[in-house]
Amino acid sequence: MKFAYVPAGEFAMGSGVDEAGRHDDEAQRRVRITRGFYIGVTEVTQARWQAVMGFNRSEVKSDDLPVSRISWSHAVEFCRRLTKRDGKSYRLPTEAEWEYACRAGSPGPFAGTGKLDEMGWHIDNSDEQPHPAAQKKPNAWGLYDMHGNVAEWCADRYAREYPSGEAADPTGPAAGTSRVARGGSCKHFARACRSAARASYNPAYQLQQLGLRVVMDAPDQTKGDR
C-alpha cells in the first residue's frame, strides 16, 4: 500500500451552521493534531485485504475495488495482522484524523476541487456500485476517494455531540455501542459524502458500503510518500 504523510496541524472540525446539507451532530470546534501520521493514499483494496486476511466477502469482486462488507472488528484485525507482518504500527484513523486528512486544508463541504463529481463516487454518478481506487481526483495531500466509494471505519465510538471547547488529538467517547464511519459511499447522497458528515454503525455490521483506510504511525516524523 502507498501512504501519504499528513503533517501535524490545527483545523475546524465539523461544519458551519450555514453549510448546505449539514446534520445537527456536526457542531464545529477547533482541533489540534499534534503528531503527523501516514495514511493510505487509497482505501484498502480487495487484493490487499485478501493477501492479509485470506477471505473477501465483498459483493462485487475485483482486485482493484475497495474491500467492503467488513465489520469494525475485521478492520481492526487487518491492522493487527499487517502490524505483525510488516513490523510497523498500523491502525484505524481516529475520527478527527480522518476529517483532518480528508479536508487537507479545505474548509468547505468537499476537498480538492470542491466539486463532488470530480472527487468521489456517490449515488448520482456511481450506479450504486463501488469503483476501482483512484479514478477520481485526489485532495491536496494526494488522497483519493475520501468522498464516497465506500464509507471508512474509524477507531472512535460514536457520540452525537462532540465535547465542547478546543481539543488535542481527540479519540471519541470512552463508552458507547456504535462506531464511526466517514466519507459516505457510492450508495449515499452528496450530503453524506461531505468532509464533516458523520455516520454510526453497529460494529458487527458488514455492509456493501463499508470499508476501510489505514493509518501508519510515523515515530520518526519523516515526511514523504511511502
CATH number of the CATH domain containing 91: 3.90.1580.10
Average pLDDT of span 4-13: 98
**Residue 107 clears pLDDT 90, i.e. is over it:** yes
18 within a domain of the structure (yes/no):
yes
Tell the residue number behind the cell numbers 458500503, with chain if given. 209
- Per-residue pLDDT reduced to its tens digit, 35-60: 999 999 999 999 999 999 999 999 99
Strand partners, 16: none
Average pLDDT of span 140-165: 95
Q: How many domains does the chain have?
A: 1
72 within a domain of the structure (yes/no):
yes
76 vs 218, higher pLDDT: 76
What is the percent of the chain where pLDDT is above 70?
97
**Residue 224 clears pLDDT 70, i.e. is over it:** no
Domain carrying residue 138:
3-217
Strand partners, 103: none
**Residue 221 clears pLDDT 60, i.e. is over it:** no
One-letter amino acid at 23 equals H
Asked if 212 contacts 180 with a C-beta cutoff of 8 angstroms, the reply is no
- Could you give phi then psi for residue 145, rounded to 5 degrees? 60, 30
The pLDDT score that the predictor gives to residue 220 is 60
> Which one, of 32, 34, 9, 30, lies nearest residue 164 by Cα?
30
